[in-house]
Structure 1
C-alpha cells in the first residue's frame, strides 16, 4: 500500500508539472529551470517534441501495415526475437506488460501481451505499425532510448501525450554487432505497476537479443561462441572463455540446478528448490533469473526454466564419470561439497546425492588409491579409512596415513 501511495503522489506531482510546463513551453519555446520534480532529459524532450506533436493527440500515427510486415520479415531482429518469444510472452503474461520491439526509426514491428493489456495498447496504437519516435509521439521510453542510446524509463505524466499518463514504460536500445542501434525493446504497463526491477528485466532481455544477433540465433550456439564453465564442487564460480562471470550466490545456485537437471523446472518447483519455506516475492525470484539470463546472453527458457545453451559443469561431469564406472575421474573432479556455502534446499539435496554417490563408488572400489584420495576430504569417515586399510598391504608405507586418519576419526 505504501508503494502505491508513493506512486500516486508522484503521478499527481508530475501532472501538475506537466500542466504548468507544457503551457509555458508552448508560449516561450523553452522549459523553465528549477523544477525538482521534472528530469532534465524529459523537459528537453518536451521542448523538442512540441513543435511536431500535439499533447492532446489520442494515439500514435500509423505506418503502412503491409510495409511493416515486410520489414519485420526481413529484419535482423526477427530471428533473435522469435528465439526469445516464449520468454517475452511469459514476462508479459506474468507481470501484466506489453512487450514491443521497434526498428531503428521507432516504428513498432512486434508486440505481445495478455488480452487486457493488448486492448489498452491498441487504443493508443502501441501496436505493429505505430510510430513512436520523438517527432511522431513525443516523450516516451522508446523515443528517449533511440535518441540517447541508453535504457530509459518514462512514468505517467512524464509522457508528453496526455493519453499516455496512465502508463509507465521501460525501453532499452538493441545494438547490432557493429554497434548500430537496430531498434528498442520496450516493456509498458499501467502506472500503478511501476517497479524498479522492470528496468533490469528489459535490459537483460535486450542483452539477450543482442547476444542472439552475435551468435546467429536461433540455429543454436556457434562453435566460436565461448562456452560457459560452471565450477561448483568445493568452489563457486562460472566463466565464459576464461573470463569470470559476475554472478551472485543465488544465481550460481540457479545455474547449478539447471545444469544438474536438464529437463528443467517449473517456476514453483525452482522457487521451492531455492528458497524452501522462506517468503520471497515473485519479483525477487524473477530478478535473479533475469540477471542470470543477461549474464549468459539468454540461454534460459521461460515457461519451464531450463538451459537452452551449453553449460559445462564439474558436478555433471562427476555424475557422468560415476555412471560409466570411472571412479578415478569422479574423484579427480570431486574437489569438495557442492556449493559448500549454499543453504538452498535443492542444492543441499544434490550435495547429499553427490556425496553419497562418490562415497559408495569409493567403498565399492578395489583401489586403495581411491579410498586414500577420498579420505583426504572425509577425515572423520571411519568406514572409508577402514576400507583403505583393508586394501593396503602390510609393507605399504601408506598404511600409516590410513591408520592416522582412522585414529582421528574414532576419537
Structure 2
C-alpha cells in the first residue's frame, strides 16, 4: 500500500471516530474507548476543549496585530529565530509546510512559508496574532506541546475543530536557559504531505534555537522590556528600575499600550484633555519627555510604541479573550489609573471593569464571584451570583450572605 493510501485510510478512520465520539462527548460527557478511539492524549484534550471551543469554529480567534508586533520585538525567541529564518523558509517552501513560532500563551508571533500554503493557513488564522491555546482552538499540536512540554503531532481529525481536518501539525516546545517553556516551534502542512521525518526536523530546529538562547549574552538592563502597571496604581519600570514619569506621561504610555496601532496627534490630545483648550505644543512636550524616558520607543508622526512594553491591563484583556477568568482576576489589581480624569483613560477604565465583571457573572466558579466581591462590596448581583453557585454545606455561603445582607438592611 502506498504512503498516500495509508494516510487516506488513517484519515478516514479518524474522521469516523470524530463523527462518532465528539457529539457524544459534547452532549453527555462520554469518554472514548475501544479499538476505534483516538489516542488518549487527544481524547482527553477533546474533553477539556469542548467546554470552551465549538468544533464547528472556522478559524482561530485573533489578538490585535499591533500588540503581537510588540510582543515579537520583545520576545527572547526573536533573535535566534531570525538567525534561522533562511533555513526555516527553505524547509517550509521546499516541503510545502508553514512554519510558525508562538509565545508561551499559544499566540503565533511569526510565520514563514510559500505563498500558497500561507494563504491556506491564513484562512484559519494560522498567522501572527492567531490564538492556538487549548481554550481558544481546542486540540492541536501547539496546544498539546504547550500543555505537556513535549513534542507533539496532530493529524487530520485528531484536531477537535473540523476546519483543521485537512492539516497535520508537528510541534516542539522551546525552552529558555532556565528550563521554562518560552513558546513552540510548529511545522504544518496538508494531511497528504504527512511525513515521519517532519517531527525529527522540528525537534532538531527547536534544539538549535535553544542552543542559541544559551549562547546569547544576558539581556542588558537598558534594553530590557518596560513593565507598565496601571491597574489600581500607575508605575513603569525597566529591568526593575522605576522610570521617572509624571502622571500625564503614564496616561500616554497606558493609552499607547492599550491601542498598539497608535494615535494621530489630534486624537491623542482629545483622549488626554477632552474638550479643554490645550495647545499642540503641550502634548508634544509630554510625548518628548516620554520618548526620552523610553530611549526612543515612541514613533513620531503617528504616536505608537516601538519598544516592547508589557502591561497588566493588556494582559487582563488577553486572558478574557481566551476565556481565562482565573488569570484575568489574578491580574486585575483595581481600576485603570484610578486617579486619572483623562477621557481616554476613563473610557478604557469602564471597558475593563465591565469586561471583568461580565466574565465573573458568566463563570460557573463561585470563587471568582467571591474574589471579585471583595473588590466590589456594593455589587449585589455579584454577591447573589456567588450565593447561587455555593452548595448548601459550603461554609463560604455565610460570606456571600453577609455581603448581601449589608446591602439590603
Q: Name the TM-score class by shorter chain.
A: 0.5 to 0.7
Partners of 1:5 and 1:21 in 2: CA distance? 24
**Partner residue of 1:148?**
148
2:91 is the alignment partner of 1:91 = yes
The gaps in structure 2 that reach 5 residues or longer are 218-409
Tell me the equivalent position of 1:216: 216
Whether the 8 Å contact between 1:13 and 1:37 is mirrored in structure 2 is: no
The 5 A counterparts of 1:74-153 are: 74-153=74-153
Q: Distance in 2 between matches of 1:178 and 1:84?
A: 22
**Which residue in the other structure is 1:178 paired with?**
178
CA deviation map 1:211-254 (0-9, x unaligned): 1100118xxxxxxxxxxxxxxxxxxxxxxxxxxxxxxxxxxxxx
Query: Residue 101 of structure 1 contacts residue 184 of structure 1 at CA under 8 Å; is this kept in 2?
Result: yes
User: SS of the residue aligned with 2:105?
Assistant: coil
1-side partners of 2:105 and 2:158: how far apart?
Answer: 21
Give the 3 Å change call, closer, same or farther, for CA 154–48 of structure 1 in structure 2: same
The list of structure 1 runs, each at least 4 consecutive aligned residues, that deviate by more than 4 angstroms after superposition, is none
Question: 1:15 is matched with which residue?
Answer: 15
- Within 5 A, what are the aligned runs for 1:293-312? none
- Say what the alpha-carbon RMSD is for the aligned residues: 1.6
Secondary structure of 1:110's counterpart equals strand
Match status 1:164 vs 2:135: no
Give distance in 2, aligned partners of 1:94 and 1:212: 25
What's 1:6 paired with?
6
In structure 1, what is the Cα distance between the partners aligned to 2:81 and 2:109?
A: 11
Give 2:195's aligned residue.
195
Q: Judge conservation of contact 1:167–1:188 (CA < 8 Å) in 2.
A: yes
Residues 328-369 of structure 1, C-alpha deviation per residue, up to 9 Å, x if partnerless? xxxxxxxxxxxxxxxxxxxxxxxxxxxxxxxxxxxxxxxxxx
Q: 1:88 to 1:196 in 2, by over 3 A?
A: same
Cα distance in 2 for residues equivalent to 1:185 and 1:73: 17
Partner residue, 1:42: 42
Task: State the match for 1:28 in structure 2.
Answer: 28
Cα offset for 1:34?
A: 1.5
CA shift for structure 1 position 32 = 2.3
Mapped to 2, the partners of 1:175 and 1:194 lie a distance apart of 26
- Report the Cα offset of residue 37 of structure 1: 4.5
TM value normalised by structure 2? 0.52
Counterpart CA distance in 2 for 1:148 and 1:30 is 23
Partner of 2:366: none
Consecutive unaligned residues in structure 1, runs of 5 or more: 218-411
Distance 2:97 2:128 in 1: 16
Are the equivalent residues in 1 in contact too, given 2:17–2:36 (CA < 8 A)?
no
SS in structure 2 of the partner of residue 54 of structure 1: coil
Q: In terms of Rg, which structure is larger?
A: 1
